[in-house]
Amino acid sequence: MIAAAAEVRTLRFYVNGRWEEAAGRSLHPIYNPATGETIAQVPYATAEDIDRVARAAHAAFLKWREVPVVERVQVFYRYKALLEKHADEVARILTTENGKTIEDARGSVRRAIQMVEVCCGMPSLIMGYSLDNVAKGIDCQTIRQPLGVCAGITPFNFPAMVPMWMYPFAIACGNSFILKPSEKAPLTPTRTAELLDEAGLPPGVYNLVQGDKATVDALIQHPLVRAISFVGSSPVAKYVYETAAAQGKRVQALGGAKNHLVVMPDANLEKSVEAIMGSAFGAAGERCLAGSVLVAVGEVAEPLLNLLLEKTRRLRVGDGLAPETEMGPLVTGDHRKRVVGYIDKGVAEGAKPLCDGRKLMDERQDGFFVGPTIFDHVRPDMTIAREEIFGPVLSVVRVKSLDEAINLVNSSRFGNTTSIFTNDGKAAREFAQRIEVGMVGVNIGVAAPMAFFPFSGWKNSFFGDLHAHGRDAISFYTEQKVVMSRWF
């Protein structure tokens, strides 16, 4: 269905401080996932566009790197104030194109603002260190200098927050930046770019283009682009990492996930179930930190599943903008097909659906809805236990001991996040020590590190060395130089 013509806007690129009509480029629909209506059209940038943007960004970089960091961060103080003022508006745009609940969208905008807050501290964060008299009369100091043009390629699920893992850090470090957000959710990054424009960055320091694989390839191939920050699915992360590294670029590529939530027999069931529901069904499972496999240890399985099922059946699914909604739709019809394909496969491979989200599709013809789904008696070798589904599907694997749970988690190809629910400090400590996963929660459903810590996936969930945000981001977006001096 297409919304009334006047409402279907065509997005623009933001290049060298100006909004450009992208006439003549191919146009692609953006949907409101709660209604299925087309709400906007997005043009895809060509290789010629990327060349033009990269040149403008490079020219801007040569001036921007000369601006003292104390002055550079003033833009981010203004940006923070503008984001605060428009936070609710940005969250509503986000829900309208992504589907997640408005409360969840507000939370993610808050996380985005926190990135900007951290970047306001760049004068302290970017400092080097020094030692005088390393040899007689010789002093040594390290300094950090920006790289040049940096590019960011981001996914649909956090269209405000994930881009801000990148450009505030890169720009406050003295780089210029080109953002290529998800072609499924470009409205939110467009609004946040308008606010950055209002905050008053010099032209060309921040640029926004839209597109898909061809646009990404043009960014990777462009000789003026020095560094690529990528967040998305694992196969694309690996591809971007390998191709950009082969071009001599610095790369950080964050990938997909398959996250386990381990529940011990001594866990506080009421609180654990609340956290598990938020983790598995929050944002309709479209989070890289979503709990996807519930590992029930020993005799906890029956009481845990009883309570979980009771609460899941009461979960209110609907339009994310409605205040009573607890879970929204999936982002597109194609993505819903993929998620339903996984549910079909779970049934075919012999797992037992305690609660089948496909039924909701008979009731709701509008939008891209699928209900929460729980599979019991899932074996670790089943597809639904191994692959990222990125939908509201929770697979329950029953194990006998903590040891078995740890081995199960460690056998995954992914290593983004995992949580243990227990009242036993020794079990929690052993879990945190032995688990081969980058972000670990203890009695926490979504262990998302805040802006001043790194976002630390392992294995196929991350390709590179320096992670997103935290101190890693400053290292990623700068080159280190060591200066030794002697004066006669």
Q: How far is the CB of 459 from ligand NAD (least distance, A)?
A: 11
The arrangement of strands across the sheet holding 250-254 comes to: 18-21, 12-15, 206-208, 176-180, 149-153, 225-231, 250-254, 462-463
Q: How far is the CB of 132 from ligand NAD (least distance, A)?
A: 41
Catalytic: 355? no
Spatial CA neighbour of 288 closest among 381, 154, 480, 115: 154
Nearer to ligand NAD, 256 or 445 (CB): 256
Q: Could you say which of 119, 120, 173, 288 is catalytic?
A: 288
Alpha carbons 463 and 246: distance in angstroms, whole number: 14
Residue for token pair 């989070």? 287
Nearer to ligand NAD, 153 or 166 (CB): 153
Using DSSP bridges, classify how beta strands 37-43 and 27-32 pair: parallel, antiparallel or unpaired.
Answer: antiparallel
Nearer to ligand NAD, 209 or 295 (CB): 209
Q: How far is the CB of 264 from ligand NAD (least distance, A)?
A: 26
In the structure encoding, which two tokens stand for residue 457, read together? Answer: 């996936």
Nearer to ligand NAD, 213 or 271 (CB): 213
Q: How far is the CB of 467 from ligand NAD (least distance, A)?
A: 9
H and E: helices and strands count for the chain = 18, 23
Coil/strand/helix, residue 345: helix
Nearer to ligand NAD, 119 or 289 (CB): 289
Cα-Cα-Cα-Cα dihedral of 386, 387, 388, 391, to 10°? -90
The footprint of ligand NAD (CB under 6 A) covers 153-158, 162, 180, 182-183, 212-213, 216, 231-233, 236, 239, 254-257, 288, 388, 390, 416, 455, 457, 461
Q: Counting beta carbons within 10 angstroms of the beta carbon of residue 56, is it exposed (0 to 12), middle (13 to 18) or buried (19 or more)?
A: buried
Angle between helices 402-410 and 425-434 (to 10 degrees): 20
Q: How far is the CB of 340 from ligand NAD (least distance, A)?
A: 16
Q: How far is the CB of 275 from ligand NAD (least distance, A)?
A: 19
Q: Name the residue number minimizing CB distance to ligand NAD.
A: 232
Residue 50's H or E segment, with its range, is helix 47-64
Type of residue at 464 = G
Nearer to ligand NAD, 291 or 457 (CB): 457
Residue positions annotated with a catalytic role: 288
